[in-house]
Each structure stands twice: as structure tokens, then as C-alpha cells.
A and B are shown apart, each in its own frame.
Chain A
């Protein structure tokens, strides 16, 4: 096989002049993490709201939430990002559109919003499932005490629902981290993009992508461990293995 192995490539300076290849990859990792976290905040906020709407007795809320979920679930993430990045600026009033296109770090903001909205649909499905899995009696007990619908959701239903869906929500967060790589198509300088850049400059294909692979795996492990710690800390004593 005609391939020059060079594991020392990481410590060589990248032609971009910003540092070593290792630093290039780490900067990509940074963008991956920050994009994922910011998008997750949006996904949680919108997704929880839509998920709650899916469980409300109001037909209107139900239909809207259903439509939201189907819309973002049935369009590929790449296409969604293209709509946000290429189409939205054209549909906005002229001044806003131009401002958006000239925004520094536009790929980052678009990626955060695009990934946030796309993931919000999946969060909504989980939150709705969590609320629906609770016994009907809990809602009735809340109402019987005089709590309003909002209070019942806030103090009775959602605290338990979120605990129940922590594992699938963790999966969705991991999916979000992986999906940040799709944003390289709109110019986000995340990890996969940087690995590709390193490969283009140095021709060390194997080394470049191995590093990216290892970094994604480490990130995965850290998130899984973090999630388990979170699950343990919020576990309810005496309920579902929360421990007495």
C-alpha cells in the first residue's frame, strides 16, 4: 500500500498559519461543542413547549404541535440548513436579509438556529411521551387541589416527565452533536470540516480522520457519563430505582 504514515503530523504547523494541526482539530472540536450546546438550549426550550402543547386538551395546540413535529422530522437536516442559510435571507425584507448575509460567524448562528429547530421536533416527541406516560391520576390530583393547568404542568407533570425521558433526551443530544458535522456544508468550522482540511493540506488521510474519530468517541463517552451522573443526582428516592 502506497501510503506514508506520519503520526507526527499533528505537531506540524498547518499552512493556515494559525498553529499546529492538533490545534486546528481542537478548534474544530470547540466549535462542535459550542454549536451543539447552543442548539440544544434552543431545542430544549422550543421542544418542551411544543411537547407540552402536544399533550394539552386543546385541539388547536395539539394540531399545531403535530404539524411542527412532522415538518421538522420529514425534511433532511442538510436541506433545513440550506433553507435557513440560502433561502431565508432572500425572503426577509431587503435590509434584514443583507444584514444576515454579512453577519460575521453567520454559519455558526445559522447552524445553531437550524439544528436547534430541527432537534426541537425530536425533543417534543420525547417530552410528550414522558408526560403521556404519567398516570392520569397525577393530573387529577393536581386539579383537585385547585392547581391551574399551567401550575399542574410546572409542579406536578413536567418534573417527573423530564426525569423519565432523560435517557432518550441524552440520545437526542448525542445525535445533535453528530449533526453539527452537517453544518460544514454551510461553512461551520467544526471538527469534521477541520479534519477534512487537515487531510487536504497534508494528505495524511488516515491520521486526520482517526483524530476526528477518537475525539468524537471521547465526546460521546463524556456525554454518556455526564448524563448518568445527572440521572443519579435527580433520581427520586424510592421511585424507579432511585434508591431508598
Chain B
């Protein structure tokens, strides 16, 4: 077939593109993914009964802000990597900054502590399950992000998959924090991040297969 015939065919009766369609898909995917993640946390893991006692604790709000900030930055990354020719810009630097801020807080908490207290600050009571539960809660969100990306056109598939995984992981961590009894900065700086990195690595691994177009 001649290329100008193809051009004629593609242009024939072309329909206007509704720019709101992508935004609708974003909203639908994120709402559904979040709903399942929160339902799993509240329904199966149960809300932390001590949650209301945490409210006056600054570390509670720091933990929520940490997860929320990472989610927001990661969403921006997904938004950009899902479209051809968009630069990531300051997204990686911003993610690093938030993580480093938590690590600085962790150092501050660990420095004056006795060795026994240090162990407690790092491992808490739930370090063995925290990353895996976050990764599990991330599953519906991971699917949601991949579903968004498949409707768009990522061109750096490994990176796009990783961004989808990290966005899912950080949003899952936010949901998990409703159940999680840990407030120590070293714990959050290590185990929450590990939980986010499990879907990230999965996304980097699967991206080239799942996101091809």
C-alpha cells in the first residue's frame, strides 16, 4: 500500500479527541485501586485500634506526609512517563529528597539511643511482615496504574513499569499506615521503603512485556 493512501485512510472521517477521556480513566483507575487497597486494609488487616491515640504524635503526621508526598510525586512520574516525549524533570530528585529527609530523621532518632532501643527503633514489632503486606496491598493499585499506562503510550517501558510499581507501592503504604502500629522514623525509612520497592522492581521487570504497544 502506498503511504499517501494510508494517510488518506487514517485521516478519513477522523473524530475529535476528547482530552478529558484520559483524566476520566485516571480517576476511575485510582478510585477503584484505592478502594480495594483500603477495603483490604480495613476489612482484613483491621484498623489499628490505637489510631486515635496517635493523632497528637508528630511522627504519625510525618509518616502520613511521607507516604502522601511519595505518592504525589510518583503519580506525576506516571503521568509523564505514560506519554511520549515528556521529561521526568525533577521527579527522581524529589523522590530522593523525601526519602533522605526520612533517613535524616532516622539518624536523629538512632544517634542518642542505647543499642537495645536502636534495635527496637529499626525493627519494631512488625518488620518481618510490613514490606510484604505493603506489596500485597499494592497489587490492585499496580494493576490500576498499568491499566492507565496501557491506554497511553509509554516509550521507556522499564522505567514506566517501575514508576507504576512505585506509585502503587507508595499509595499502598499510605493505606497500610491505617493498620500499622509503627511510628519510629528508622522503621518507616527502611521497611516502608522496602514495601514500595517490591512492586517497583516487579514493574521494572514486567514493564517491557506488559506495556508494549
A, B in one complex? no
Where the two chains meet, the residues of B that have a C-beta atom closer than 8 Å to any C-beta of A are: none
